[in-house]
Amino acid sequence: MTDTVTLSLADLTARVETIFRRAGMNAAQTRALTSVIVAGERDACKSHGIYRIEGALRTVKAGKVNPLAEPVLDAGEGTAIVRVDAKGGFANPAFELGLPVLAARARELGLAALVINDCTHFSALWPEVEAVTAQGLSAMVMCPSYATVAPTGGNKPLLGTNPFAFGWPRADAPPYVFDFATSVAARGEIELHRRAGKPLPEGWAIDADGNPTTDPEAALEGAMLPFGGHKGAAIGTMIELLAAIMIGDLTSPEVLDYLGTTTLAPFHGELILAFDPARFAAGRPGNPLARAEVLFEAIVGQGARLPSQRRFAARKISESQGVTLTAAEIAGLDRLTAQGLDAVA
Amino acid sequence: MTDTVTLSLADLTARVETIFRRAGMNAAQTRALTSVIVAGERDACKSHGIYRIEGALRTVKAGKVNPLAEPVLDAGEGTAIVRVDAKGGFANPAFELGLPVLAARARELGLAALVINDCTHFSALWPEVEAVTAQGLSAMVMCPSYATVAPTGGNKPLLGTNPFAFGWPRADAPPYVFDFATSVAARGEIELHRRAGKPLPEGWAIDADGNPTTDPEAALEGAMLPFGGHKGAAIGTMIELLAAIMIGDLTSPEVLDYLGTTTLAPFHGELILAFDPARFAAGRPGNPLARAEVLFEAIVGQGARLPSQRRFAARKISESQGVTLTAAEIAGLDRLTAQGLDAVA
């Protein structure tokens, strides 16, 4: 007897797709959402794996995401801005629809933006980053979140944990990819400390009066802090400006007002920039992809890690050996398959 | 008797221009360089004011910048990439040449990039950011530096202090602007601690063996650390990739190899992105500039500061009352005026 079950990625994909289809999601939403959830599980990034299925279903059940949405493309011919209206569905199928047009435009102009509007953003930004790098392009991606982070010197939640992500294509290796919250910690990490009855590390949060706290309860009633002090707060603010206000979508405080909770997936927009290194480097000495390898070797050569290295190592194993889930996780999938939206609050 | 002298901004401009012209710089280099130096002094940003004149002259004397360079524009018609070849001169006149074309292209396409190649970058990035915001556009600006910062987990200088800057236009106020090093501290701050015989704060630097140190001497022989741990290192790496390798210009280790010192102004490239909020927000609810004001009010309203607020306050005073220099500073200007390049090592 074993307490674990190993599934191939294809089998896991089929299981997750079944859950979403039975819960009433259309083919476009199901396929794209399943893809990022399986990618999370594949990369041993458990916080973005099957654990997220319930959150997606809760958001559908709450009526805060449209499970039948068909995203609509506005190619923005003659401009550097490609838009996809997600029509209130998840961001993922909207991104898939826009990606080929974004890539073509970036190759044509050297630089282009994909704006996704009216979407429920789900999971990490690295799936988008990796998809752009797979086109031989560099990517910068950002989106807001819910207001849970106080600006440095302030005392109230205002900014989101606003992730900032970037990727650079590599010929013979997985891409260079980073994707991080602009808060010190993710909100989920504070919740985990609360459940475990453990104090928070210093510098993660302030209480409702704006004083530093290591008490998770007080932190959840107060605010999280940006990473790197005023510099992280500035980047978080930049993301509100570019990836919410500039693209005509909700800011983090507006998202929280709209949802009234941080337990549903956030509704807002997303900004993806794509750069064509071949166009930017044209006429200049050196091949940019080859020169980047020199930089990466210098980083790794002094004992530092490239971001996402751990994820890519896990991926390699999962692709040949499948992913191993606990009996409890399998039971969870069974329950969600059988009960659909009735399984979630 | 007084130990200080107050000069109008026009008088200070004339004094600085005279120094650069007598040192053999042409009109384009002189005007642009003087403009950013006077701006630093005007904004009480002393580390980017007249203090920098000597460094500029040293770089000219060392033959590492061309004082007679006339930058050349490649408008990149039909693309989102505007280029200026600085021809080995300072970045500032190259930026001035490219700005109107960048702004027009950003308005036309929604998004455009200005690449400056083969320049000596001088002073801060905020002059460029502010000039873009004055066109009603948002700006993101970055450039490498010299290799003085170790990637997190590493132990050798590799990345530069790689500044990252951003701006957003405001109708009735100075723009929202940040501009910071992606290292914890600037190298000059470590030097100041060394001279004062004061230990460094924890977390600024490592020694040559990669161990944390608070000894400024050991730090100068070792490496500085990125701000915000691995997140700051990731952003510093992104800047090497986008603003050095992608644009076909020197990385921070290559800059250090080329100059052989960190006492001269660095020779590399610069990347300026310009976004047109009106184009990005077209067809969406709300005016982006008005919505941004709601965000800024929420930041200031909870007692936090907007970045650059102190600089803009100083500017307001300087514009009406001039700037006050010490007798020693005036003597320094007199000496540089009289001796030109002979005044510097």
- The pLDDT value recorded for residue B165 is 98
Set of chain B residues whose Cβ sits within 8 Å of the Cβ of A156: 302
Domain B1-61+309-345 = CATH 3.90.170.10: no
Q: Which of chain B's residues have a Cβ under 8 Å away from the Cβ of A307? A: 230, 234
Instruction: Give the percent of chain A with pLDDT over 70.
Output: 99
Mind telling me how many Å the CA of A30 is from chain B's nearest CA?
27
Q: What is the pLDDT of residue A187?
A: 80
Query: Mean pLDDT over residues A160-169, rounded?
Result: 98
Task: Supply the CATH classification number for the domain B69-181+228-307.
Answer: 3.30.1370.60
Q: Is B48 considered catalytic here?
A: yes
Q: Quick check: B1 pLDDT over 60?
A: no
Q: Residue B116 — very low, low, confident or very high, per pLDDT cuts 50/70/90?
A: very high
Task: Say whether B266 sits in a helix, a strand or coil.
Answer: coil
Give me the mean pLDDT over the B264-280 stretch.
96
Residue A1 has pLDDT above 60, yes or no: no
B115/A111 Cβ within 8 A: no
pLDDT band at residue B28 under the 50/70/90 scheme: very high
* β-bridge partners, A117: A85
pLDDT, tens digit, for every residue of A196-242?
999 999 999 999 999 999 999 999 999 999 999 999 999 999 999 99
Q: Give the pLDDT band (50/70/90) at residue B187.
A: confident
Written as six digits, the tokens of A142 are 């950002």
SS3 A279: helix
Question: Which of B246, B253, B302 is opposite residue A156, by nearest beta carbon?
Answer: B302
Predicted confidence band at B319 (pLDDT cuts at 50, 70, 90)?
Answer: very high
Average pLDDT for A126-143: 98
- At A191 the pLDDT is 85
- Interface membership of A214 toward B (CB under 8 Å): no
- Delimit the domains of chain A by residue range: 1-61+308-345
Instruction: Tell me if residue A48 is catalytic.
Output: yes
Per-residue pLDDT averaged across A187-201, rounded?
90
Beta strands in chain A (DSSP E): 4-7, 72-74, 81-85, 111-120, 138-142, 164-168, 176-180, 205-206, 212-213, 223-224, 267-275, 323-326
Q: Which of B82, B79, B80, B111 is nearest to B95 (CA)?
A: B82
Average pLDDT over residues A303-331: 96
Give the closest of B156, B275, B284 to A242, CB-based: B275
Between CA B41 and CA B48 the distance in angstroms is: 7
Give the confidence band of A122 by pLDDT, cuts at 50, 70, 90.
Answer: confident
Quick one: average pLDDT of A32-59?
94
Fold of B184-225: Wheat Germ Agglutinin (Isolectin 2); domain 1 (3.30.60)
Q: Check whether B2 has a pLDDT greater than 70.
A: no
Least confident of A314-318, B102-106, B119-123, B163-167: B119-123
Confidence grade of residue B191 (pLDDT, cut at 50, 70, 90): confident
- Taking the C-alpha atoms of residue A93 and residue A73, their distance in angstroms, rounded to an integer, is 11
Give residue B273's pLDDT: 98
Catalytic residue among B47, B108, B217, B230: B47
Q: Which of B17, B35, B41, B48 is catalytic?
A: B48
Question: Would the pLDDT of A75 be above 80?
Answer: yes
Q: How far apart are CA B156 and CA B167, in angstroms?
A: 32
User: Which of B108, B176, B246, B249 to mutate to probe the A interface, most A CBs <10 Å?
Assistant: B246
Report yes or no for ipTM above 0.90.
Answer: yes
pLDDT for res A2: 65
What pLDDT is stored for residue B180 in this prediction?
Answer: 96
Kindly identify which residue of chain A lies nearest to residue B290, measuring between CA atoms: A245
Q: How confident is the model at residue A123 (pLDDT cuts 50, 70, 90)?
A: confident
* Average pLDDT value for chain B: 96
Q: What percent of chain B has pLDDT over 70?
A: 99
Mean pLDDT of A35-43: 97
Q: What fold is seen in the domain A1-61+308-345?
A: Hypothetical Oxidoreductase Yiak; Chain: A, domain 1 (1.10.1530)
User: Residue B86's pLDDT is what?
Assistant: 98
C-beta separation of B180 from B164 below 8 A: yes
- Tell me the count of A-B CB pairs closer than 8 A: 216
pLDDT level of residue B296 (50, 70, 90 thresholds): very high
Reported as a single tens digit per residue, the pLDDT across A9-31 is 999 999 999 999 999 999 999 99
Q: Which amino acid is at A42?
A: R
Burial of B74 (0-12, 13-18, 19+ CB in 10 A): middle
> pLDDT band for position B46 (50/70/90)?
confident
Region B189-208: mean pLDDT is: 92
Once rounded to an integer, what is the mean pLDDT over residues A115-120? 97
